């Protein structure tokens, strides 16, 4: 505990705002000291795909089983591999549970210009979404091919359990995760899609894919875009229903929860779980992440941590 007199004598005791600021500064210093060993295990790996430099970050905890699981985390617009690693808390969850985390790099909108958070944002490309502006004579941006290249590199270098390869995404990253899993279901053991704005129907997977959807009812992405995709329900609920049919499920159930409602498909092919968690009063954010304020506003006593929830779901998937 920080003493009232530790830095500025009695002055800080008579200034609650200053005292609170010092306490926050002290807490931040402790938190930074705690994560330093974790960042020492974060490695940058260069990779060029279609002529574009797209390095990825990989986090390998000090203590790993011989064939660890691996989680690929894709952020939304504005994200980078670095922000994905910093923002969502995966390094701590991976350290406690003994698995690898991979943070791929999305590409900026205009490849002729540097990244700019306001004017030249990064994103994962989907039909009906944003489009990359290529360099003169440049190859197309192929996010699907890039993610497969990253996956193959991780399989070759790190030798994870091929039956425990998981993909997690937020916002546009969650749309990309769904499309990738549908196209390459033999490689993907399960996915978690948070706040998905998917506007392109996933293809029929070669084998069923375990799916966890998480979405807030105050999310601006909750509205559909049927004008772009008239034969596909693009609302989060529609995406979840679509995955139930893709996975050969037969029965839908619903149950109230402390935070909203859980919808579940049952009697799915290979008994894979297909679940949608809808959180009351939640907007377009990831509770538990560095830049989320939802827990402070709505759940100060019983906070939600989507990273912990995602790993709990993935860890419970039975290898097929």
CB 75 within 8 A of CB 92: no
User: Is 93's pLDDT higher than 80?
Assistant: yes
Report, as an integer, the average pLDDT of 266-287: 93
Report, as an integer, the average pLDDT of 97-108: 95
DSSP, res 62? S
Report, as an integer, the average pLDDT of 252-281: 93
pLDDT for the residue 199: 64
Beta strands at 56-59 and 100-103: parallel, antiparallel or unpaired: antiparallel
pLDDT for the residue 221: 65
User: Is 294's pLDDT higher than 80?
Assistant: yes
Entry pTM: 0.83
How many Å apart are CA 262 and CA 74, to the nearest integer?
24
How many Å apart are CA 195 and CA 217, to the nearest integer?
10
CB 153 within 8 A of CB 100: no
The residue extents of the domains of the chain are 44-315
Q: Which residue has the higher pLDDT, 108 or 275?
A: 275
Range 148-170 burial, b when 16+ CB lie within 10 A, else e: bbbbeebeeeeebbeebbbbbbb
pLDDT in tens, 23-78: 444 344 434 444 445 555 899 999 999 988 999 999 999 999 999 999 999 998 88
Tell me the CB-side half-sphere exposure of residue 25, using CA atoms within 13 A.
10
Highest CATH level, class, for 44-315: alpha beta
How many Å apart are CA 230 and CA 13, to the nearest integer?
63
CB 91 within 8 A of CB 101: yes
pLDDT in tens, 168-200: 999 889 989 999 999 999 999 999 999 877 667
Report the Cα 141 to chain-centroid distance in Å: 21
* Averaged confidence pLDDT in the chain: 81
DSSP, res 203? P
Which residues partner with 32 through β-bridges?
Answer: none
pLDDT in tens, 194-248: 987 766 778 899 999 999 999 888 887 654 443 344 444 445 555 788 899 999 9
Number of H helices and E strands in the chain, helices first, is: 9, 14
How many Å apart are CA 21 and CA 119, to the nearest integer?
34
Q: Say which residues have a Cβ less than 8 Å from residue 68's Cβ, sequence separation at least 6.
A: 98, 99, 100, 158, 160, 161, 164
């Amino acid at each position: 505990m920080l003493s009232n007199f530790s830095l500025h004598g009695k002055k800080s005791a008579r200034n609650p705002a200053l005292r609170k600021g010092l306490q926050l500064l002290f807490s931040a210093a402790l938190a930074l000291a705690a994560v330093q060993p974790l960042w020492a295990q974060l490695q940058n790996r260069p990779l060029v795909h279609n002529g574009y430099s797209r390095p990825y970050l990989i986090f390998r905890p000090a203590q790993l089983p011989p064939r660890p699981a691996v989680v690929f985390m894709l952020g939304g617009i504005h994200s980078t591999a670095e922000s994905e690693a910093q923002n969502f808390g995966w390094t701590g969850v991976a350290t406690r549970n003994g698995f690898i985390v991979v943070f791929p790099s999305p590409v900026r909108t205009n490849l002729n210009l540097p990244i700019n958070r306001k004017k030249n944002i990064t994103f994962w490309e989907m039909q009906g979404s944003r489009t990359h502006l290529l360099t003169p004579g440049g190859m197309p941006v192929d996010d699907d091919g890039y993610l497969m290249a990253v996956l193959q590199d991780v399989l070759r270098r790190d030798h994870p359990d091929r039956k425990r390869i998981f993909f997690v995404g937020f916002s546009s990253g969650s749309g990309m995760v769904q499309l990738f899993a549908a196209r390459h279901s033999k490689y993907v053991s399960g996915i978690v899609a948070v706040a998905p704005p998917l506007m392109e129907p996933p293809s029929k997977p070669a084998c069923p894919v375990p799916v966890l959807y998480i979405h807030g009812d105050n999310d601006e992405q909750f509205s559909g875009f049927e004008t772009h995709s008239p034969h596909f329900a693009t609302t989060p609920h529609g995406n979840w229903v679509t995955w139930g049919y893709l996975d050969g499920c037969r029965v839908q159930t619903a149950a109230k929860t402390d935070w909203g409602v859980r919808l579940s498909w049952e009697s799915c092919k290979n008994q894979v779980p297909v679940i949608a968690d809808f959180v009351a009063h939640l907007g377009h954010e990831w509770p538990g992440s560095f830049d989320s304020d939802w827990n402070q506003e709505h759940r100060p006593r019983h906070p939600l941590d989507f990273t912990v929830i995602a790993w709990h779901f993935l860890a419970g998937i039975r290898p097929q």
